[in-house]
Structure 1
Amino acid sequence: MQVEIKMDNAYTEPKLILMTASMTKEVQRILRKLSEDAPQIISGSRDEKIEVLNQEDLIRIYADAGKIYAVTEKGEYTLRLRLYELEERLDDRKFVRISNSEIINLRKVDHFDLSFTGTICVCLSNGTTTYASRRYVSKIKKILGI
């Protein structure tokens, strides 16, 4: 991507023009970031307390029995948002959906085990092992550059 900045005293406020041949994911991500009014906060409850969770601390987010949970080094939190809402709030350069019921933080992955046929075993930094569903394998391989 090329970035060009022009300084001109004729403009009293910033003006942004984005030129592209087509609407790509990168363009959509830029537009989404530019249109955000407030920071995308994720809060979770544990022990009858609500805490603000830093995206950097999240290891995985998963659905189980109709509830959404976030796992950090501090423990497990219950979230009120749905997975698709969380996916929109999370940085797509750091987080990836690996199944219909789970999102992982790529920065918290210890290693990927590709020896399983048709799926990927994901070993996380906290010792948890999870699996990518077949539907998401090609997306994950693309992210990994394989």
Structure 2
Amino acid sequence: MKLTIHQDLAVSETEIIINCAHVDGRLRHLIEMIRQHGFSLTGYQEEKEYQIPLEQIYFMDSADGKTFLYLEKEVYFCRDTLAALEEKLLHTSFIRISKNCIINTDYLKSVRPLYNHRLEAFLVNGETQIVTRNYIEVLKNKLKGENL
């Protein structure tokens, strides 16, 4: 792969152009990472507002009608619903794994099967989440590089 970078102070917005013969899984993953770079979500902690880069978020979940963003060691409240977040994050490394949870597959360490056709997802920070049977196929496709 050849990488060319042109720096010019007159450029007002960074533009990335990819020239390729074929978009394979590795290139799809790179495109996914580029798409989410610079994109952030608004989180709240102790009445303060923070812009949280997507690449810092491990997973998001909803409990009692409230949505939370989980980073490596911090938790933020988010005013968006999981459904709204799922729509915003459609072409990123995030995937819904249950009615109440969206994970960042960049932090997915492994999965193992459970009873009742569910999976247990292990994240690199030690957290575990349950992938319900309705979302297993979607997760498998995402990990194969489909549906980007």
Decide: shared fold, TM above 0.5: yes
Could you list the runs of 5+ residues in structure 1 that have no partner in the other structure? 1-32, 34-38
Verify the 8 A CA contact 1:40 1:89 in the aligned structure 2.
Answer: no
Correspondence for 2:47: 48
TM-score where L is the length of structure 1? 0.67
Structure 1 or 2, whichever has the larger Rg, is: 1
How much does 1:92 deviate? 2.8
CA contact (8 A) 2:40 2:51 kept: yes
2:84 counterpart SS class:
helix
Identity of aligned residues (%): 28
Distance apart, 1:65 and its partner CA: 1.1
**C-alpha separation in 2, matches of 1:115 and 1:82:** 28
* Other-structure match for 1:4: none
C-alpha distance after superposition, 1:107-129 (max 9, x if no partner): 01111113545011101111111
Identify unmatched segments of 5+ residues in structure 2. 1-34
**SS at 1:73 equivalent:** coil
* Greater relative contact order (CA < 8 Å, ≥ 6 in sequence): 2
* Contact 2:59 2:71 (C-alpha < 8 Å) held by counterparts: yes
In the alignment, the residues of structure 2 paired with residue 46 and residue 86 of structure 1 have an alpha-carbon distance, to the nearest angstrom, of 18
* 8 A Cα contact 2:39 2:53, kept in partner: no
Give the secondary structure class of the aligned counterpart of 2:126. Answer: coil
Q: What secondary structure is seen at the aligned counterpart in 2 of 1:81? A: coil
Give SS of 2:68's match: strand
CA distance in 1, matches of 2:44, 2:117: 36
**Residue in structure 1 matched with residue 129 of structure 2 by the alignment:** 130
Distance 1:40 1:89 in 2: 10
CA contact (8 A) 2:95 2:105 kept: yes
Give distance in 2, aligned partners of 1:86 and 1:56: 15
| Structure 2 CA distance for partners of 1:52 and 1:74, relative to 1, 3 Å | farther
How far apart in 1 are the matches of 2:140 and 2:133?
11
Alignment of 1:1-146 (within 5 A): 41-90=40-89, 92-114=91-113, 116-145=115-144
Deviations 1:5-31 (A, max 9, x none): xxxxxxxxxxxxxxxxxxxxxxxxxxx
CA shift for structure 1 position 138? 1.5
Count of aligned positions: 108
Give me the whole-angstrom Cα distance separating, in 1, the residues matched to 2:143 and 2:116.
Answer: 17
Q: Which amino acid aligns with 1:68?
A: T
Match of 1:18 in 2: none
Query: Which stretch of structure 1 is more off in the superposition, 134-143 or 48-57?
Result: 134-143
Asked whether the equivalents of residues 55 and 90 of structure 1 are also in contact (C-alpha less than 8 Å), the reply is no
Q: Mark the CA change 1:41 to 1:55 in structure 2 (over 3 Å): closer, same or farther.
A: closer
